Amino acid sequence: MQNIDVTAQRSLLTKKKKLSPIWKYRYLYLLGLPGIVYFIVFKYAPMYGLVIVFQDYSPFLGVAKSDWVGLANFTRLLKDPDFWRLLRNSFAISSLSILIAFPAPIILSLIINEVRHQAYKRVIQTIIYLPHFLSWVIVFSLSYIFLSSEIGFVNRIIVYFGGESHSFLQDSSYFYPIVIMQELWKDIGWGTIIYLAAIAGVNPSLYEAAKMDGAGRFKQMLHITFPSIMPTVVVLFILKMGSMLDVNFEQLILLQNPAINHLAEVFDTYVYKTGIQNPTDISYSTTVGIFKSIVALFFVLGANYIVRKRGHEGLW
């Protein structure tokens, strides 16, 4: 009987030890409760609906009564004649974004950090932030004003100097440069916010020590600033790899035209055309989304593994 009491007391003490951190930080948990509820209600609970990828889902029958088809939707996706084209286009645009658009805010942040005149620095930051708040419709309209063959500002300059007008928006050889330039112009300023915040956290004594050793501004940036923000760069890179098949839907749907659709058609626009415009294919369009998520998971795991092998701290 005494042994049973001792065991019960030990069990009670163990439970108290486990719950004590929660009770100790109860106000922090309470503060985070709205966010926790949000993710449960809007992120995790709807995952029940993913079962429709294994069904021939009908909105009129619902999830419970729709016919079960197993992996038929995945088989249909992999056998779709457009599958490899969609995969190639998505990878091409995402790869260019990682190679060009991802490092651009890092470089710009390092440059802005070297500006010593604070008023001038704030003006620059404000100017480069503003395009982020413009819709892609406005961005495309500006692109049309500059590049269209009828009223394009660029074509008017070309014609003025004796050249011939060119349809940049209908020429497939200009498609990728236009996509990347639009992304850079719209989001490069917004991307600098995180990096400038990371730079602000660098210990000033490191710069003072470097100055005493005779290091100039460029060497300080190269050997102190950049290595100090490397953990932030690594985390954002891993997260970026998780969106390898995610390209900006609004941007590409606006750029699409018959002359460049063979390059501009990606999974996001394909889902819109098969799932939204054709409501009978909801299960199939959901399958496309699940496929993208599976690929993204492998890229995140792979990127995290490589980063840790290189000696950096990954996401886990």
Q: Rounded to the nearest 10 degrees, what angle do helices 72-79 and 282-309 cross at?
A: 80
Q: What is the reported pLDDT for 180?
A: 94
Q: Which of 24, 65, 53 is nearest to 286 (CA)?
A: 53
| pTM of this prediction exceeds 0.75 | yes
The mean of the pLDDT values for the chain is 86
Q: What residue type is 233 in one-letter code?
A: V
| d(C-alpha 176, C-alpha 168), whole Å | 11
Q: Per-residue pLDDT averaged across 175-179, rounded?
A: 93
19 falls in which pLDDT band (50, 70, 90)? low
Tell me what the mean pLDDT of segment 205-226 comes to. 87
Give the residue extent of every domain in the chain. Answer: 14-70, 82-309
Averaged pLDDT for residues 36-51 = 88
Q: Band of the pLDDT at 96, cuts 50, 70, 90? A: very high
Residue type, 208: E
Confidence check: pLDDT of 5 > 70? no
Tens digits of residue pLDDT in 57-69? 887 888 888 888 8
DSSP string, 194-240: HHHHHHHTS-HHHHHHHHHTT--HHHHIIIIIHHHHHHHHHHHHHHH
Q: Is the pLDDT of residue 285 over 90?
A: no
pLDDT at 18: 60
Domain 82-309, CATH homologous superfamily name and number: MetI-like (1.10.3720.10)
Assess whether pLDDT exceeds 70 at residue 2.
no
Q: What is the pLDDT, as a whole number, of residue 10?
A: 61
Distance of CA 204 to the CA centre of its chain: 32
Instruction: Compute the average pLDDT of residues 265-276.
Output: 84
Q: Which two structure tokens, joined as six digits, stand for 4? A: 């049973």
DSSP letters for 194-205: HHHHHHHTS-HH
What mean pLDDT comes out for the span 201-226?
Answer: 87
* 3-state SS, residue 117: coil
pLDDT of res. 15: 59
Q: Which one has a higher pLDDT value, 277 or 187?
A: 187
